[in-house]
Amino acid sequence: MVADLADRSFPCRRSPVMAAVVLASSLLAAGCAAPARPASPPQPATATATSEDPVEWLLSRMTLAEKVGQMTQPDLESIQPAEVTELHIGSVLSGGNSDPEAGNSMEAWTDMYDRYQRAALASRLGTPILYGVDAVHGHSNVVGAVVFPHNIGLGATRNPGLVRRIAEVTGKEMRATGVQWTFSPAVSVPRDERWGRTYEGFSEDPALVSELGAAAVLGYQRGDLGHPLAVLATAKHYLGDGGTVPGTSTFGDSRGLDQGDMRLSEDEMRRIHLHPYRAAVDAGVGSVMPSYSSWNGHKMSGDRYLLTSVLKGELGFEGFLISDYNAIQQLHHDFKTAIAKSVNAGMDMAMVPSAYRDYIRLLIELVEEGGVPMSRIDDAVRRILRVKDAMGLLDPDGSYLADRSLQASFGSPEHREVAREAVRQSLVLLKNERGTLPLARNARIHVAGVAADDIGIQSGGWTISWQGQPGDITTGGTTILEGIRAAAGTAGAVTYSEYWTDVRGADAIVVVIGEAPYAEGVGDRMDLSLDTGQVALVRRMADTGIPVVVVLISGRPLLIDDALELSDAFVAAWLPGTEGAGVADVLFGDHRPTGRLSFTWPRSMSQLPLNLGDDRYDPLFPFGYGLRY
Ligand code: BGC
């Protein structure tokens, strides 16, 4: 719980790094063994601590520049380790496309993390950095990590225990590279699937998002940020990123919804979008990311009422706010004015990928000129340091560098098994006629479609690169085709074609169709019809009279009428990630389908937005739908 963050100044196993000498006596008095001092840095400039609270101890010694440095988060792409030391940087991130110079391997990530952490430890007060990444479905920037289904699939599992385990595994793979902060879970409530970030949300239903979002927070943070495998979670994007109106986007396509405007009354906004944040805060989430988007024309990143009064006041959030990537710059064309607006609204740390020197200089000027009160700076830094303290980053015996002993389990079969289970549970069976499913193991099966044998397509955006990409993205795992081949074993005969081929002699055909990968901005789409070439493939296969199973890979419900009609069985598989074998587990009936729609499935574009509880509700498939066998 966040209350914990404030309370856990000195459990026996944790003590402040800066006050080690003086503190040793108080720890012994409390019946604890004296902590060993770290062999390497940091060492305090002076060991005459007056307070037992490492956060207050540090705060009282920090210069304004050191405080502002803690509030600054540059991107790896721009910042050098020496600058982390020089500027007392509080955090570094790797944005979606920002990988270590030495490549994208687990080793390269770990070495990079250690290099930047050492640089932080070498600063005057030796305050460690938090390293942040978008581990939104596994530690998915890193080659070889297990990639889980995107949240839309996890919503269909309706299984908070599973979501919690997934977050634990993700955190463990992150920790194996040293990284200890994920910008996840998205607790967005996507209300219009034309939005390209729909798949990052669990559901259109606030109650389901709340339940699964809280489970993810508990999994990442292990219910206690002090746990050695805990990673800091971020509930994002506050507030109403999934409630924007088409045509209001400030990003990319001007018809889009991303970074757009939510036009709702306060009551409606609270009813739909606020609830998951309450649940995340109650689960102890340590950071929250305000949204690029606006509410009735006002940008979230500068909204004092929502950031400070509602989130920190009413909801009692005690962690810290991290701005979205260059979001502060959107508040005003004059950067200094924009900074003042956001910090005064309650922003605690700024994600300023390359503008970090300007940010630091201008914020210092603002404080000196009275444009931002010192009390606001102290509050922001206190919040950041409290989280660091709760994570053991202010301990003299803390583990600042990566724990390489965890690397043995990175991408391990055990971790892949959790993902495979998630894939099975995420599948939603929309149609099953002529007893087409489950497939017989000894059947002759023809698999068709480019998406059937493509790790990149089945993983979607935020995988290895920001937007994701089709093809062999060089990471481990199993394609859907490989899964089917393995399940059929020697009993069956599986053939494959990317496009149409003569399928005479097959007992069943599995056609895998769907969307190519995309992420924010790029995925906004005003027409969600299936690609005509893919429908034509389904049609030609159906014309053979052989039973056809369609597996749809998509980040949202699409307009599927023709393909649905032509198929004998239809499975919505969402974006399953690297463990395609989970699809085969269900197709062959080794596990029965249990997934249920966490989104309403529309009949036509003219129905959108269409959500559970709407007055006129006539969907193709309602929220909660899912067949069994
Ligand atoms: C996205 C965030 C993400 C951040 C850092 C932004 O563009 O909106 O969800 O956490 O980038 O990569």
pLDDT digits (tens, 9 = 90+) for 368-381: 999 999 999 999 99
User: Is the predicted pLDDT of residue 258 greater than 70, yes or no?
Assistant: yes
pLDDT digits (tens, 9 = 90+) for 463-475: 999 999 999 887 8
Q: Are residues 312 and 214 in the same domain?
A: yes
Q: Which of 346, 374, 409 is the last residue of a domain?
A: 409
Query: Do 194 and 301 fall into the same domain?
Result: yes
Tell whether 156 and 126 lie within a shared domain. Answer: yes
Tokens of 612: 């559970």
Q: Is residue 432, in this structure, part of any structural domain at all?
A: yes
Q: What is the reported pLDDT for 13? A: 23
Say if 446 falls within a structural domain. yes
Span 432-451, pLDDT tens digits: 999 999 999 999 999 999 99
- What is the pLDDT at residue 545? 98
Q: Half-sphere exposure (CA, 13 Å, Cβ side) for 568?
A: 20
Query: Is residue 620, in this structure, part of any structural domain at all?
Result: no
Instruction: Please give the Cα distance from 289 to 309 (Å, whole number).
Output: 16
pLDDT higher than threshold 70 for residue 119:
yes
Query: Sign of torsion, CA 295 233 175 62?
Result: positive
Q: For the chain, what is the total number of helices (H) and then of strands (E)? A: 21, 17
Domain at 238, CATH number = 3.20.20.300
pLDDT for 490 equals 83
Q: What is the mean pLDDT of the chain?
A: 92
- Determine the atom of ligand 1 nearest the C-alpha atom of 95: 12
> Sorting pLDDT into bands at 50, 70 and 90, what band is 254?
low
Instruction: Give percent of the chain above pLDDT 70.
Output: 91
Per-residue pLDDT at 357: 99
How many structural domains is the chain composed of?
2
294 and 341 in a single domain? The answer is yes
Claim to verify: residue 60 and residue 109 sit in the same structural domain: yes
Residues 41 and 186 in one domain: yes
What is the distance in A from the centroid of ligand 1 to the CA of 208?
23
Q: Ligand 1 pocket: which of 150, 184, 324 to mutate (most atoms <8 Å of CB)? A: 324
Q: Which positions are catalytic?
A: 324
Per-residue pLDDT tens digits for 5-46: 332 222 222 222 222 222 222 222 232 332 332 334 343 333
Q: Is residue 622 part of a domain?
A: no
* Whole-angstrom distance, CA of residue 102 vs CA of residue 198: 33
Q: Is residue 344 domain-resident?
A: yes
Pocket test for ligand 1, best of 75, 131, 183 (most atoms within 8 A of CB): 183
- Of 409, 444, 464, the residue at which a domain comes to its end is 409
CATH number of the domain bearing residue 544: 3.40.50.1700
Residues 382 and 444 in one domain: no
In 152-291, DSSP assigns E strands to: 181-182, 234-238, 261-262, 287-290
State pLDDT tens for residues 188-217.
999 999 999 999 999 999 999 999 999 999
* Same domain? 439 vs 401: no
Q: What pLDDT does 252 receive? A: 60
Structural domain boundaries, residue 550:
427-607
Is the model more confident about 398 or about 75?
A: 75
Ramachandran region, residue 611 (left: φ > 0; alpha: ψ -120 to 50; beta: rest): beta
Residue 393 sits in the same domain as residue 503: no
Q: 295-336 pLDDT, tens per residue?
A: 999 999 999 999 999 999 999 999 999 999 999 999 999 999
**Residue 40 included in any domain:** yes
CA of residue 80 to ligand 1 center, whole Å: 21
Nearest CA to ligand 1 atom 10: 183
User: 618 lies in a domain?
Assistant: no
- Shared-domain flag, residues 391 and 508: no
